Amino acid sequence: MAETVVVTDGTDSFFGSRSVFQVLHDAGDFSSLTAFSSSIVDAKKMCISRQARYSGLIDVLKFAEGGDAELAATLSGVSTWVAINGDAAKLPAQISAAAGAGVKRIFVHLSAADAAPDEGALKAALEASGAAYTVMRTGTLAKAGAGGGLVVGDFELPTCEDVPIDDAFRLLVESLTIPEAEGRFFSLCPSVDDSQLKEMRRAGCSRKEEAVALLKGVIVEKAPEEREAIASGSSAAAAAEDDDPRSEEEKAAAAAEEVKMLLERARAKGIENQKKMAEEEAEKAAKRAERLAYFKDNAPKEEDEEAKDAKDGDNGEDEDKKGDDGEGGDKKKDDKPKKDGDDDDDGLALV
């Protein structure tokens, strides 16, 4: 995990955006997440929670404070910079600081409630930075309503309703790793039509695939008449699809092809999982064989040990016999009658 992220909030408070750190930690793969603001104390109050401790976020979460000069120093060596509620007046200078620090990925979130920035000037600053960039504009970030319909539209949309904060931040995290988001200016808005996203979720598509579909414009909001016709199952559905030049046979063939594609993807996924499991099992078997060979080569040989013990026992007996003979010789020598003039000093010395 070599990727590192610095997060700033244009409001200078993480009160409304603190959940972005949890989403970055849960859905991304980053070695450190730094919250930069004018006050470390306030940032810690906003970002450190029970969930942060239990999920492990606290282990990678860091804090830094200061102004533009300190921001440039904090961005040094960082791979990604995420600007939430970007301040249009400060963004050019901040982008320049990020470019000087060597930041490789820039994601800017703008609120539709604020004045729209000059897209041309902002784009020029981002392109001059040399970093891959994405600019996302949303309405007010709402706490409720996650999992509903979403649609990606033009950046210059005059109005954009409230967007669930979880959905917005999840798209933000996925956009950091997919090429479809690079060099893009877009608006993320809620949609009353969530049928396509629901179908993708039923088919087992990942959040990353949903993000790709949204950014490619595959997810669109159907007209109210078409939605009503689909919901009621009435004959109005045919009228809503009159613009489709395909015949009924072609539509049926397209639907069958889509089902076939989903089945083929599931089959390929199953083959991939089986292959992965087989590789893991082969690796485990190889490790087991390697351990068995190691223990076999390094295990003590029982016969050699027994022979060595027997030899040691024989030597011990010989020593005992030798010792006994020595004592016997000494005793025999001492039993001889002593001559006059001898004393017991020699005998005491021997003892």
Positions in the chain short of pLDDT 70 = 1-2, 158-159, 223-244, 301-351
Domain boundaries 4-219, corresponding CATH code: 3.40.50.720
- 190 alpha-carbon distance from chain centroid: 27
This prediction has a pTM of: 0.65
- Position 307 scores a pLDDT of 56
- Position 333 scores a pLDDT of 46
Q: How far apart are the first and last CA of the chain?
A: 78
Q: How do strand 163-164 and strand 149-153 relate by DSSP bridges?
A: unpaired
- Position 73 scores a pLDDT of 95
Cα gap 160→64, rounded to integer Å: 33
Give pLDDT tens digits for 59-110. Answer: 999 999 999 899 999 999 999 999 999 998 899 999 999 999 999 999 999 9
Q: Which two tokens stand for residue 221?
A: 């909001």
One-letter amino acid for residue 129 of the chain: S
CA angle 155, 158, 162 (to 5 degrees): 85
- Position 235 scores a pLDDT of 46
CA angle 228, 232, 233 (to 5 degrees): 110
136: buried, middle or exposed (CB in 10 Å: 19+, 13-18, 0-12)? buried
Cα gap 154→280, rounded to integer Å: 47
Cα gap 68→164, rounded to integer Å: 30
- Position 309 scores a pLDDT of 59
SS3 of residue 250 by DSSP: helix
Which one, of 129, 177, 135, 180, lies nearest residue 156 by Cα? 135
Which residue carries 């579909």 as its tokens? Answer: 213
Q: Yes or no: say if 122 and 94 are a contact pair by the CB < 8 Å rule.
A: no
Cα gap 93→150, rounded to integer Å: 32
Maximal CA-CA distance, the chain: 147
Cα gap 79→131, rounded to integer Å: 10
- 54 alpha-carbon distance from chain centroid: 16
Cα gap 134→182, rounded to integer Å: 6
Q: Give residue 110's region: left, alpha or beta (phi > 0; psi -120 to 50).
A: beta
Q: Yes or no: say if 66 and 97 are a contact pair by the CB < 8 Å rule.
A: no
Q: Yes or no: say if 200 and 210 are a contact pair by the CB < 8 Å rule.
A: yes
Q: Where are the alpha helices (DSSP H) in 68-145?
A: 68-75, 91-101, 119-129
Which one, of 50, 62, 57, lies nearest residue 28 by Cα? 57
- Position 236 scores a pLDDT of 46
- Position 20 scores a pLDDT of 96
Output Rg (C-alpha) for the chain, integer angstroms: 39
Torsion angle of alpha carbons 196, 197, 199, 200, nearest 10°?
A: 120
- Position 328 scores a pLDDT of 46
